[in-house]
Copies of this chain bind each other. A is one copy, B any other.
Amino acid sequence: MARKGEDKEFVKELTSKSEDFSEWYVDVVRKTDMADYTAIKGCMVIKPYGYALWENIRDALDKRIKATGHKNAYFPLFVPESLLKLEAEHVEGFAPEVAWVTQGGTEPLEERLAIRPTSEAIICSIYAKWVQSYRDLPILINQWANVVRWEKVTRLFLRTTEFLWQEGHTCHRTYEEAQEETLKMLGVYREFAETELAMPVIYGEKTESEKFAGAQKTYAIEALMGDGRALQAGTSHNLGQHFARVFNIKFLDEDQQEKYVWQTSWGASTRLIGGVVMMHGDDNGLVLPPRIAPVQVVFVPIYFSDSMDTVVQKVRELGEKLSEFRVELDLRETQTAGWKFNEWEMKGVPLRVEVGPKDIKKEQVVIVRRDTREKLFVPEGRLVETVRDLLSDIQKAMFQKALRFREENTVRTDDYGEFRTIMETRRGFVKSGWCGDAGCEARVKEETKATIRCIPLDGCDEEKGRCLACGRPAQCTVYLARAY
């Protein structure tokens, strides 16, 4: 049984979320065995618990990418310097954070190879060979891969030198088709985040200064974290013909004219894991959405030595009934039940099922929800349907809770004074007018560290008010926040 002293000790190890969000975050990620730092600056190891979460995220997103007609492929890790340099804005954006290979085996290389920070350059050089005729279009390809960006300041999952992601790269016959694809994938990210990660997002277009290096337009989904800061959780770019022109990706159209293709690219990464932690976690650790949780239900037997065999047997029997879920039976004899409660709570497992001798007599189990910590007494005969309903409830409740949090932390104001106060105190999203001037945007950023997260898709149609910074009539409404 739980030895109370020990349990408190155990929970105390986590920094309080409200006291120091940043410390709390690192504590949660490390102590739940999701990831850890390594001897290589900025590179993390994703441990089995974190990787199982990533596998579930990846599989759920991969299914959607395939359902929208894309196929997976794999392109080289290396980008020759000459290729990376072809698109001027692109190289300007990425060159400062590239890791360079200069030697292969015993020979120095004639040309330096960048380790892909993103794969537009290498993929476009290959697409140039694949695309000849309008019949070859569209090209709808996605890649799951590791990428490297030499970051100065890193944080587990949120910003690491190496990370895992998917990057879609498509070619189209017309601008309209490329734009449709760009928005379609933005929609896929949005639906995916909301359904699977229980993560409500705002979505819209990035400003010129915030867009992807080399893109014509960038769109993003943005989520509000527990500390009131925004996290960019997925981006979708309309690349226009920027890359097609420099990489010479041309096709002979039906009208016998040679034309450049129109392209898109879009990506989401292991950063999503950080988002899940920061959006749902609490002082007791992780709270994982059931749909992606590596363990959905954990059984903890409660026994004294004389009841051990009976209880363990019952736990195995009930565990088998839940084969449609991801179930863990915690039969470790080296830990107390109380210690196990705390550990699985910290690991964010949605449902804990407790089985003790008294429960067996009453033909019931005790189920505890991680999100609300509510305790339910459930007849054994109703275990399967109760678990099914509870997991579904938790998924919805977590989304609703996060949505409420965002709504409570989103303010509409065009008043710069009020805006500054908000950004210095509780933060959150602020919806403001913006004149469209990059100078105003830069001034706000410099003075408050807040950036325009996006121009919502209908942001230039609705009531616009006045520019937050200069007070002139606004061109559109924007979402601002301090961001990760």
Contact = CB atoms under 8 A, between A and B. Distances in A.
Interface of A: 36, 38-40, 43-48, 51-52, 54-55, 71-78, 80, 83, 96-106, 112-113, 115, 122, 125-126, 135, 141, 145-146, 148, 150, 152, 161-162, 164, 334
B48 A72 contact: yes
A40 B80 contact: yes
A154 to B, nearest CB: 12
A100 B125 CA distance: 24
Question: How many copies of this chain does one complex carry?
Answer: 2
30 contacts: A36-B126, A38-B122, A38-B125, A39-B125, A40-B76, A40-B78, A40-B122, A43-B76, A43-B78, A45-B75, A45-B126, A46-B73, A48-B141, A51-B71, A51-B73, A55-B72, A77-B115, A77-B146, A77-B148, A77-B162, A96-B106, A99-B105, A100-B102, A100-B104, A101-B101, A103-B112, A104-B150, A105-B152, A115-B115, A135-B334
B105 A103 contact: no
Contacts of A96: 105-106
A66 B21 CA distance: 35
Residue among A45, A52, A83, A102 facing the most chain B CB atoms (10 A cut-off): A45
Given A40-B80, A48-B141, A103 B102 contact: yes
A199 to B, nearest CB: 22
A72 B52 contact: yes
A47 B73 contact: yes
A141 B100 CA distance: 30
A181 to B, nearest CB: 17
Contact of A113 (B40, B51, B71, B72): B40
Contacts of A100: 101-104
In order of increasing CB-CB distance, the 9 nearest A-B pairs are A48-B71, A43-B76, A105-B150, A46-B74, A104-B150, A100-B103, A102-B102, A51-B73, A99-B101
